[in-house]
Chain A
Amino acid sequence: MAMSPTNAGTMTAPLLSVRDLSVAFHQGGKESLAVDQVSFEIMPGEVLALVGESGSGKSVTANSILKLLPYPAASHPSGQILFEGKDLLTLPMRDLRSVRGNDITMIFQEPMTSLNPLHSIERQIGEILELHQALTGAPARARILELLNQVGIRDPEKRLKAFPHELSGGQRQRVMIAMALANRPKLLIADEPTTALDVTVQAQILELLAGLKNQHHMSMLFITHDLGIVRKFADRVCVMTKGKIVETGTVEQVFTNPQHAYTRHLLAAEPKGEPPPADDKKPVVMQGADIKVWFPIKAGLMRKVVDHVKAVDGIDITLREGQTVGVVGESGSGKTTLGLALSRLISSKGRISFIGQSIDAYSYAMMKPLRNRLQVVFQDPYGSLSPRMSVGDIIAEGLKVHETSLSYEERDRRVATALEEVGLDPATRWRYPHEFSGGQRQRIAIARAMVLKPRFVMLDEPTSALDMSVQAQVVDLLRDLQSKHDLAYLFISHDLKVVKALANEVIVMRHGKIVESGPAKSIFEAPKEDYTRALMAAAFNIEAVKTAAVSE
């Protein structure tokens, strides 16, 4: 730390100063240190970014500022959190409550769950105004409208009575920000506020936050794992790993001249490499023509079908051996539905042929013999592995169905080989999923698909739940496996950086339809459509493009 809080006479005093903060958790008689002697300061009007991978203790640090941890399971063995001279850790509950939501406010990662689903927007924002400013009735409503205008919600008068489920993810996060700004806080803590949002919406929200910060002269503590956002947005950075801050400095210092090995590792952790060259002569593995997935909307007493939600609306797609088709688009654009339809996990209309067989009318039982050549890797490595089965059993499950003649030893050998292929020690097959990190779990999920020697693999956002540096490793692994086994990938992702590193053909989807499709090179270098351009700007430069093409 360059500045000490004692020479406040010459420099402006820090707004928040965290000194030697430690956080320990007790469970089952054991004590684990989640945050270890962390110190940092935030000046008035400054944006400090706290960067680190999941489990590094950054959220725990942020939550302890307002004492939001599960006490008494959590405790602070050491440290002080000075906010305007008061130590928040020792402040009585009553005084702390007047700080929470008033001087310091927080916005959280998950806009789906951080708003109460039973209260209208007006009531949620009104509650804070009433609590800290005793503002009710007409003046409160005027202030709420002002706030909603500030955060860029269109037609706020009509939105006052809306409930959270009637708003999109981006709009919900805007409402959260409006609540956070309601009492003109001095410090805003933003805990991964854009991680759950689409890239285009992320860019808009970041732009909004930057604007509001200047307008209100707020300080901000910004927690993220995305270095792109930090570079764009923050004044100073603290890099955190394993509960410790290993490097602090201005954005420019840290990005141009990183001191600590971990920072350099983080900076180098972008998905790299080139996809395999496109080759039209390779045999077709999977072909879909005019694929439609319509969900009926039923209404009235007799549940008559009045309309359809057209999740996928007439898509043509061809996948060749050893090639990857990337499907990109915002959430709700129908990309996962398309993948599920192609792998026949949901019913659809339109012709689907897989290795020469027309499978679109096959029943679940008729699909069974084909399932070993048609595999799926899911997004969430924490949810896709049964917690009660050992890794070996998880990988062997498909073999037990499809290759019943294998003896126990042969099966075990196949499992071991598959684990080795994805870069895990075969001895790990006796352990359980909870003993592995997210990246290792995704490797296990990939091994489960690969052990059956598939021809086609649908990868449904396989990297988006992983940390940046792990993403790069998984991308490399997928590319190696593809070239080794001549696999056809359907790669579904909203992360254009990953798609760029893997796909040689790209389909841009929106509202169930293709916006633009073609070779990856031409789409990334010269996008034709406005929507594609907006996606690119948001993904690569974190810029919000003002076009009608982008959703809110």
Chain B
Amino acid sequence: MTVSTPVTDTMPPQKRPFFSPTSIRRWQNFKANRRGYWSFWIFLALFGLSLCAEFIANDKPILASYKGELLVPVLVDYPEEKFGGFLAQTDYKSSYIQDEINANGWMIWPPIRYSYQTVNSNIPHSAPTPPFWLMTKEERCSGYPQGAADPGCTLGNLNWLGTDNQARDVTARIIYGFRISVLFGLALTICSAIVGVTAGAVQGYFGGWTDLLMQRFIEIWSSMPVLYILLIIAAILPPGFFVLLGIMLLFSWVGFVGVVRAEFLRARNFEYVNAARALGVGNATIMLRHLLPNAMVATLTFLPFILSGSITTLTSLDFLGFGMPPGSPSLGELIAQGKNNLQAPWLGLTAFFTMSIMLSLLIFTGEAVRDAFDPRKTFR
């Protein structure tokens, strides 16, 4: 073991591998859970697509050329007078505007020509209407002025999964609804992780009275009837994304405290933590550098499950009518419509499959994450 080359200033600083061996092993373990691995990618793809919802389902063309000018209606609001109308915003769905643009140029529509709040004015009979593939060609185009021969009766204008009771396209609503659910879930999970991990870290590291007092507070706090408080607050404050996020954050951070606190309590007496104290390293640095990585494993393992829990909570609030403001695309509202319109099973079924697929993907991913962080897991 007696080594050595003399210490020289010119010794090249060897590059450290970007991923540590532990991370690589965890990634391998994650990949070894095939179901979770594929769920993860499918979920990411769906989420990525839903982030571009405006380009997939919208009542405005993506690109249009009008009298030699290139227009991007999906991004820019053009007043209708540009096309000879009088409204402040152009209604591209109206046949007058469509004819005007087609006569003086061309336009490219998204695959689904409805946004989440676009009302289909050409439905064949009173809303809700079934998916187009449950009707004959004549029937499905009967709402258009020229019937089956109408140029407006195209695939993009038809309702792939039917319409809801206000004649809005269900497909468009679940695409936007999926996006808002996942964004809400992510925001809530990240915020509660930050608050919860901080609280747990402080409790676990300092222990003693700090721990005791905060622990009693958390016990009282978490024994409050959360749903009723949510209902009361939702009745006072105007409902909205950030109000809901704030209210739910008040109660959801508690979930992280237990694991993180336990991890810090365990690790604060590790010898390398004592060694850092003996070196004179400050408390904040010790917590961040030496203890947090230990707690991160438990936290990360938790994340997918907290995420799916948050999504479920938002959906149930929407279902009860205390969630997002009316008109917002929400899966909970779709479930409520399905319950109220049993004669239109496509509403309930669509909502059910969207929810169950989304939550299953998340749970499967969560299982794979759990495997990845399990040091005892061995694969042969």
Contact = CB atoms under 8 A, between A and B. Distances in A.
Chain A bound to chain B = yes
Interface of A: 26-28, 72-73, 343, 345, 367-369, 371-372, 374-376, 378-380, 383-386, 388-390, 397-398, 401-402, 409, 412-413, 416-417, 420, 423-427, 430, 432, 439-440, 443, 445, 448, 452, 473
19 contacts: A26-B380, A28-B378, A376-B275, A384-B271, A385-B275, A388-B20, A398-B281, A401-B281, A402-B279, A420-B7, A423-B4, A424-B3, A426-B4, A426-B7, A430-B16, A439-B1, A440-B1, A452-B279, A473-B1
A432 B11 contact: no
B206 interface: no
B20 A425 contact: no
B272 A73 contact: no
B9 A432 contact: no
B14 A430 contact: yes
Interface centre among A385, A401, A439 (most CB of B within 10 A): A401
B320 interface: no
B1 A388 contact: no
Nearest to A393: B289
Interface string B12-49: 01101000111001001000000000000000000000
A429 to B, nearest CB: 9
B278 interface: yes
B326 interface: no
A189 B225 CA distance: 59
Contacts of A409: 9
Contacts of B280: 367-369, 371-372, 398, 401-402
Contacts of B290: 386
Contact of B275 (A374, A384, A401): A384
Contacts of B25: 28
A380 B281 contact: no
Interface string B54-69: 0000000000000000
A104 to B, nearest CB: 28
A445 B380 CA distance: 36
Interface residues of B, number: 34
Contacts of B22: 388
A258 B13 CA distance: 45
B275 A445 contact: yes
Interface of B: 1-5, 7, 9, 11, 13-14, 16, 20-22, 25, 28, 270-272, 274-282, 289-290, 293, 378-380
Given A412-B13, A416-B11, A424-B3, A345 B271 contact: no
A292 B270 CA distance: 25
B378 A371 contact: no
Contacts of B7: 413, 416-417, 420, 426
A413 B278 CA distance: 23
Contact of A28 (B9, B13, B289, B379): B379
B188 to A, nearest CB: 29
Contacts of A368: 280
Contacts of A402: 279-280
Contacts of B276: 386, 397
Nearest to A374: B278
Given A27-B378, A384-B272, A389-B289, 9 more contacts: A375-B279, A376-B275, A376-B278, A378-B271, A398-B281, A402-B280, A416-B7, A423-B3, A430-B14
B5 A425 contact: yes
B275 A378 contact: yes
B279 A401 contact: yes
A423 B5 CA distance: 11
In the A-B complex, the 9 residue pairs with the closest CB atoms: A371-B280, A383-B271, A384-B271, A398-B279, A425-B3, A376-B278, A386-B272, A368-B280, A378-B271
Given A378-B271, A378-B274, A425-B3, A28 B28 contact: yes
Given A73-B378, A424-B3, A426-B7, A375 B278 contact: yes
A372 B4 CA distance: 27
Contacts of B274: 345, 376, 378, 384
Contact of A413 (B9, B16, B21, B272): B9
Nearest to A384: B271
Interface centre among A27, A367, A371, A384 (most CB of B within 10 A): A384
A388 B380 contact: no
B273 to A, nearest CB: 8
Nearest to B20: A432
A81 to B, nearest CB: 24
A383 B270 contact: yes
A541 to B, nearest CB: 32
B266 to A, nearest CB: 12
B278 A371 contact: yes
B281 A397 contact: yes
A2 B124 CA distance: 99
